[in-house]
């Protein structure tokens, strides 16, 4: 045992004293306490409760005609990954049985840098513009006065945003509480773009499907499981990998030609919408296998940082307004939580060679002995990399703050509701009624919700109106 400076520690049990008083010169004691006092870092504002595992992604189907991404170049190519599963709203020590979206984030350590596919277990999101994200999270978070999560706040906020209905058909559905992380789907949620060597662009959506199937917990099961072990999903993932029962997901993509964007009755870049699979079928790409548990929770889960802005040549962003907001927000929160050099941490650092002139700052531990830290220089051979293909679309227009045109907020929620068996519909209605029956909610707010669900499905609206004793304000 040594100090942080490497000096041997000959007694780690007792403080240095003269008689009873402890001496300030006991350097090891001061260092030990000082490190302990600072061993917690700021908790994530969202996705605080999570766990990671490591493994690989293997290409199983050739999509090189769609993208020049090196890690997707041919079947059989494997790329190391680390994956973090999480809940969204509640704190780091919260139960894993809470009804909440789940995070499904994959970091690919490719030969061309890191690609972070940061998604959820739902294929849609509550809002379509990042401007509303802080308000959304504030509504879901505990009441700032009582520190209790109260659903009247949630229903009040979303009574202004009918775009949220589609995501509520997932949150209040049976899949709102996954059985564990192994039996959970994942989605990139956003539309990205794939670009091939010729510069041809396609919109793409990413979908993870577990090979062991999707399983969820109903209310009584969730209470029983959560009451016995509030870390049940973390333990299940760890124990499964330790036993050699490696979780596996298949990666599928949906592809859309940008020239066909206007063919639909919704905006394909709207995160509150899914792409119809009968028109844009799922195409297999590869498989994700998690075969190694992390060695240290703090180093490989707490300090693990994802950023949707991290893409590789052959994959690019789209004009999805939520995605565009996330491109800034994620890196910004990591620089606050972990520091400006968070990408130097081993779990976040790329595995390929990398070099730039970003220097110094808090916790910069990269050893550098070169004299040239500017570009260009005739004393340094550093040069520009080969230009990757990016979407060639020319953008023009005037500055304005506006919503998308084709909102169509009620069609897809209604279709999803009607696709369920009657018992599943009944459980969904019960959860909606429980949320809308909160005594803090006004008759006006309840009437708005009933009106919206009536527009999604007339019979659903009638059932809600009857149980809540309100009439829709249509």
The pLDDT tens digits for 456-466 are: 999 999 999 99
Tell me which residues are annotated as active site.
47, 120
Q: Which helix (H) or strand (E) holds 115?
A: strand 113-120
Burial class from Cβ neighbours inside 10 Å (0-12, 13-18, 19+) for residue 389 reads: middle
Mark 213-243 as b/e (b = at least 16 C-beta within 10 Å): eeebbebeebeebbeeebebbbebbeebbee
- Are 357 and 375 in contact by the 8 Å Cβ rule? The answer is yes
CA distance 130 to 46: 14
> The tokens of 252 are what?
């599928």
> The tokens of 132 are what?
């509303």
CA distance 467 to 393: 51
**pLDDT tens per residue, range 270-297:** 999 999 999 999 999 999 999 999 999 9
359 pLDDT above the threshold of 90 = no
What integer is the mean pLDDT of 354-362?
Answer: 86
**pLDDT tens per residue, range 325-352:** 999 999 999 999 999 999 999 999 999 9
Q: What is the mean pLDDT of the chain?
A: 94
> The tokens of 446 are what?
């309840």
Q: Is the pLDDT higher at 405 or at 474?
A: 405
Q: Which helix (H) or strand (E) holds 195?
A: strand 192-195
- Are 164 and 358 in contact by the 8 Å Cβ rule? The answer is no
Q: Which residues lie below 8 Å from residue 151, measured CB to CB, with a gap of 6+?
A: 435, 438
pLDDT at 373: 87
Q: Which residues lie below 8 Å from residue 440, measured CB to CB, with a gap of 6+?
A: 150, 152
Q: Give the CA count within 13 Å in the CB-facing half-sphere of 386.
A: 7
CA distance 223 to 193: 42
- Are 268 and 259 in contact by the 8 Å Cβ rule? The answer is no
154 pLDDT above the threshold of 70 = yes
Assign 128 a pLDDT band (cuts: 50, 70, 90): very high
Assign 474 a pLDDT band (cuts: 50, 70, 90): low
pLDDT at 36: 84
pLDDT at 472: 65
Taking alpha carbons only, the member of 136, 114, 138 closest to residue 312 is: 114
Assign 76 a pLDDT band (cuts: 50, 70, 90): very high
Assign 95 a pLDDT band (cuts: 50, 70, 90): very high
Q: Is the pLDDT higher at 386 or at 146?
A: 146
φ, ψ at 22 (rounded to 5°): -85, 140
Could you tell me which residues are beta bridge partners of residue 51?
85
Virtual torsion, Cα 217, 222, 225, 231, nearest 10 deg:
90
**pLDDT tens per residue, range 236-249:** 999 999 999 999 99
CA distance 238 to 256: 37
Burial class from Cβ neighbours inside 10 Å (0-12, 13-18, 19+) for residue 141 reads: middle
CA distance 182 to 237: 7
- Are 155 and 445 in contact by the 8 Å Cβ rule? The answer is yes
pLDDT at 382: 86
What integer is the mean pLDDT of 209-221?
Answer: 97
Taking alpha carbons only, the member of 119, 126, 128, 120 closest to residue 140 is: 126
**Alpha-carbon distances, residue 385 vs 200, 317, 355, 356 (angstroms):** 21, 20, 11, 12
**pLDDT tens per residue, range 29-54:** 888 888 888 888 999 999 999 999 99
**pLDDT tens per residue, range 99-110:** 999 999 999 999
**pLDDT tens per residue, range 413-465:** 999 999 999 999 999 999 999 999 999 999 999 999 999 999 999 999 999 99
- Are 252 and 245 in contact by the 8 Å Cβ rule? The answer is no
pLDDT at 306: 97
pLDDT at 473: 62
Q: Which residues lie below 8 Å from residue 361, measured CB to CB, with a gap of 6+?
A: 339, 340, 341
pTM of the model: 0.94
CA distance 437 to 439: 6
Could you tell me which residues are beta bridge partners of residue 204?
192, 255
370 pLDDT above the threshold of 90 = no
Query: Scanning the structure block, which residue is given the tokens 């396609």?
Result: 202
pLDDT at 134: 93
- Are 289 and 56 in contact by the 8 Å Cβ rule? The answer is yes
What integer is the mean pLDDT of 122-137?
Answer: 95
Assign 392 a pLDDT band (cuts: 50, 70, 90): confident
Inter-helix orientation angle 151-158/422-436, to 10°? 100
pLDDT at 366: 85
CA distance 243 to 372: 51
pLDDT at 356: 84
């Amino acid at each position: 045992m040594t100090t942080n400076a490497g000096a041997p520690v000959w007694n780690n049990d007792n403080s240095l004293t003269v008689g009873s008083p402890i001496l300030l010169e006991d350097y090891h004691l001061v260092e030990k306490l000082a490190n302990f006092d600072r061993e917690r870092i700021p908790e994530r504002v969202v996705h605080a409760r999570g766990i990671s595992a490591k493994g690989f992604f293997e290409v199983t189907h050739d999509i090189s005609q769609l993208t020049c991404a090196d890690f997707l170049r041919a079947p059989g190519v494997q790329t190391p990954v680390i994956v973090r599963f999480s809940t969204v709203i509640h704190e780091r020590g919260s139960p894993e049985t809470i009804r909440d979206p789940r995070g499904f984030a994959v970091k690919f350590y490719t030969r061309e840098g890191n690609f972070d596919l940061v998604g959820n277990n739902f294929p849609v999101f509550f809002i379509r513009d990042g401007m509303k994200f802080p308000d959304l999270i504030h509504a879901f978070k505990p009441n700032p006065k009582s520190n209790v999560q109260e659903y009247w706040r949630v229903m009040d906020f979303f009574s202004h945003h009918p775009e949220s209905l589609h995501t509520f058909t997932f949150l209040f559905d049976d899949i709102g509480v996954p059985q564990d992380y192994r039996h959970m789907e994942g989605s990139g949620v956003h539309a990205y773009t794939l670009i091939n060597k010729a510069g041809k662009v396609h919109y793409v959506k990413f979908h993870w499907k577990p090979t062991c199937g999707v399983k969820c917990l109903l209310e009584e099961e969730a209470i029983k499981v959560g009451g016995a072990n509030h870390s049940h999903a973390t333990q299940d993932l760890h124990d499964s990998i330790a036993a050699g029962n490696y979780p596996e997901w298949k990666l599928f993509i949906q592809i859309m030609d940008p020239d066909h964007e206007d063919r639909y009755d919704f905006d394909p870049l709207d995160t509150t919408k899914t792409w119809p699979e009968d028109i844009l079928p799922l195409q297999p790409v590869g498989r994700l296998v998690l075969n190694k548990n992390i060695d240290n929770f703090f180093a490989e889960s707490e300090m693990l940082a994802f950023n949707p802005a991290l893409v590789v040549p052959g994959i690019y962003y789209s004009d999805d307004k939520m995605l565009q907001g996330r491109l800034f927000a994620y890196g910004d929160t990591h620089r606050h939580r972990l520091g400006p050099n968070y990408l130097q941490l081993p779990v976040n650092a790329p595995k390929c060679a990398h070099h730039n002139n970003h220097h110094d700052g808090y916790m910069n531990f990269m050893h550098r002995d070169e004299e040239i830290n500017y570009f260009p220089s005739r004393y340094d051979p550093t040069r520009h990399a080969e230009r990757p293909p990016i979407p060639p679309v020319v953008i023009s227009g005037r500055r304005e703050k506006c919503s998308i045109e084709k909102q169509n907020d009620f069609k897809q929620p209604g279709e999803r509701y009607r696709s369920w068996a009657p018992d599943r519909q009944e459980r969904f209605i019960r959860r909606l009624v429980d949320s809308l029956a909160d005594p803090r909610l006004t008759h006006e707010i309840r009437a708005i919700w009933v009106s919206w669900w009536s527009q999604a499905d007339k019979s659903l609206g009638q059932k809600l109106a009857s149980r809540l004793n309100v009439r829709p304000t249509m």
